[in-house]
Chain A
Amino acid sequence: MEEDPLLSICDLKTYFYTYEGVVKALEATSFDIWKGETFGLIGETGCGKSVTALSVMKLIPQPPGKILSGTVFFKGEDLLKKSEKEMQKIRGDEISMIFQEPMTALNPVYSIGHQIAEVILLHEMFPEISKEKTINPWKKRKIKKMIQKKAFEKAIEALDMVKISDPKKVARQYPHELSGGMRQRAMIAMMLACNPDLLIADEPTTALDVTVQAQIIDLMKELQNRKGTAIWIITHNLGVIAEMCDRVGVMYAGYIVEIGKTEKIFENPDHPYTRGLLKSIPRIMEEQKRLDIIPGNVPNLIEPPEGCRFHPRCRYSRDICAKCPPNLTVVEEDHCVACHLYEEVKYSKVGSKEKNDAGASCKS
């Protein structure tokens, strides 16, 4: 099944120019997301995963940030070349994003229903009502009110879709009156209201309790089945990735270091960082006396290490690791690693989904 991916990011480079220096947040990030799949981006604080999402949505604050180079192809068009106005049409309608803290992402002075309706009104035209052309100002007002009412009804439908009980009542409530879990559901409702092709979820469950987290995960999976939305989930929780994602990318200090099908990454983690990460989490199912740790700290992105950014903490590092950053190499089908250890292991598999990631060739 060789079709074009829904989203194709290639060599994305984003820097932040701050008082203390230039933060090289993303150097050459590349990956694809296919239609209808759930893709996970995992990494720790400061690795650049949120920056990637914001770069794709072109929501990086322009000073101090700047997207220096790269391409982001969405449905065949390069988003980085689009104007702000064109992006505004896409955001909320074709690509939506939900954030970590639902309390701060929702406007406290407007009701939930109002905020969802706002998104709907921005993108939906309601042709049946608005096609009536008149110059009568009273009639115009009446049409406007009808559109607003229709949008509000759609908002209530959206709330029902995310399994909020008594959606009519909730639509009239304000964010502070709802619990964390309900607010996150409201955010999901808002972002799915216009049936986007891609939903980006930036740490959607990190601020929630574990029982609520489980409900939200199940909800997102069900909605995806029903609507066929592709979901790009960003998190640092490996359990969430294992439960939700078809494919996963591991990020470290601005680079994708490993990417592939979830089972393959968890069963055969190849990159030393991925291995360290998987070994350092406490597991319910096992007896552990001590946790394996990755020595050292996440590097400062103002002066990142030369060559492979992980090499100072890597027990396998060799001379070449300090000199030149590794490219993504295919190690098996649906599994690529960016590590010099594996450069010798090169497959040339025709038809493999990761064909574009091997070497440096990309759609340009």
Chain B
Amino acid sequence: MVHLFRRSLLSMIGLTLIIILLLVALFAPFLASQHPSYVEVSTEQGTTRVEERWEIHFDQKLLPPSADHLFGTDDYGRDIFSMVVYGSQTSLRICLLVVFIATIIGVILGGLAGYFGGALDEILMRITDVFLAIPYLILAMAVAAALGRSIDHIMEAMIITWWPTYARLIRGQVLAIREQQFVEAARSVGASNSRILFRHILPNSFAPLLVEITLDLGAVLLVAAGLSFIGLGASPGTAEWGLMISEGRTVMFHAWWYVTFPGLAILLVVLGFNLLGDGLRDVTDPKLRR
């Protein structure tokens, strides 16, 4: 199956982009010329949180891309290349955590609902419906207003609104696989419910889930960037791609580099996840293979 993946050029491009992202995030301290420091700060609401702080060099503000500053500098003189590089860490953290936690919640609830059916299924599905109805934007705004704007808060908001999709997906898969003959066969040799669920049903449900997760990583990134863009996510001064685009808007016409490079980063990463997800879908779908 791997060889099929390798044959698709687009999937390989996607994989390459993601690998680049991972490497950049991992080796950020070595790639960047400027580095942030982390400071604990107390908020209006009375809690403390950690914020990024970058050194300010007003004399170097808004320099175009050059050998010293590959992507130029922003209006505080900070090296944009370094900020983009460190931003990859932030973005990766958001994507992975949100999707990972939402998946776990979704798989547990969806799996139980699908397997046992009956009243449990009804209750869990109605709970899922309630959460599905919550619009992420409104929730993010509410959370920001109540608890202050931070990346952690938008992650929490996104997890809450994201898990129902996975629950539904897994439930559908479990319902279909539950009726397959090999499940009946396992039951006929005496397998217990938990064994059937974990050893037989869930491993066979992962294929579409994997595709969905990969595509969602890109989607989550876009949402997080968007929330930061409108001021709900990252606090000002953090190197987060969406926030950078928002701050670059005012100087867009005479300092094009400020908006462009973070935007390009978002584009490439989301594209990478999408291509990867498409490639995975083509590889795992037996009908498309011939």
Contact = CB atoms under 8 A, between A and B. Distances in A.
Report if A and B touch in the complex (beta carbons < 8 A). Answer: yes
A19 interface: yes
Interface in A12-38: 18-19
B4 interface: yes
Interface of A: 18-19, 64
Contacts of A64: 290
B280 to A, nearest CB: 16
Contacts of B290: 18-19, 64
Nearest to B290: A18
Nearest to A18: B290
Interface string B1-32: 00010010000000000000000000000000
Interface in B187-231: none
6 contacts: A18-B290, A19-B4, A19-B7, A19-B289, A19-B290, A64-B290
A165 B117 CA distance: 42
Contacts of B289: 19
B249 to A, nearest CB: 47
Interface string B252-290: 000000000000000000000000000000000000011
A46 to B, nearest CB: 14
Contacts of B7: 19
B7 to A, nearest CB: 7
Nearest to B4: A19
A19 B290 CA distance: 7
B180 to A, nearest CB: 20
Contacts of A18: 290
Most chain A beta-carbon neighbours within 10 Å: one of B4, B289, B290: B290
B259 to A, nearest CB: 43
A167 B26 CA distance: 72
A314 B180 CA distance: 38
A19 B3 CA distance: 9
A19 B4 CA distance: 7
Nearest to A23: B290
Interface in B153-167: none
A64 B4 CA distance: 15
Contacts of B4: 19
B11 to A, nearest CB: 14
A18 B290 CA distance: 6
A278 to B, nearest CB: 32
Contacts of A19: 4, 7, 289-290
3 smallest A-B Cβ distances: which pairs? A18-B290, A19-B4, A19-B289
A79 to B, nearest CB: 25
Nearest to A64: B290
A306 to B, nearest CB: 25
B189 to A, nearest CB: 28
A54 to B, nearest CB: 15
B281 to A, nearest CB: 16
A19 B288 CA distance: 11
A18 B289 CA distance: 8
A118 B250 CA distance: 62
A190 to B, nearest CB: 27
A19 B8 CA distance: 11
B24 to A, nearest CB: 33
B267 to A, nearest CB: 31
Nearest to B3: A19
B74 to A, nearest CB: 49
B282 to A, nearest CB: 11
Nearest to A61: B290
A147 to B, nearest CB: 39
B46 to A, nearest CB: 61
A18 B7 CA distance: 13
A19 B7 CA distance: 9
B3 to A, nearest CB: 8
B5 to A, nearest CB: 11
A20 to B, nearest CB: 9
A19 B1 CA distance: 10
A18 B3 CA distance: 13
Nearest to B289: A19
A103 B122 CA distance: 32
A23 to B, nearest CB: 9
A276 to B, nearest CB: 30
A4 B290 CA distance: 39
A18 B4 CA distance: 11
A216 B7 CA distance: 47
B122 to A, nearest CB: 27
A19 B285 CA distance: 14
Nearest to B7: A19
A45 to B, nearest CB: 15
A25 to B, nearest CB: 13
A246 B290 CA distance: 37
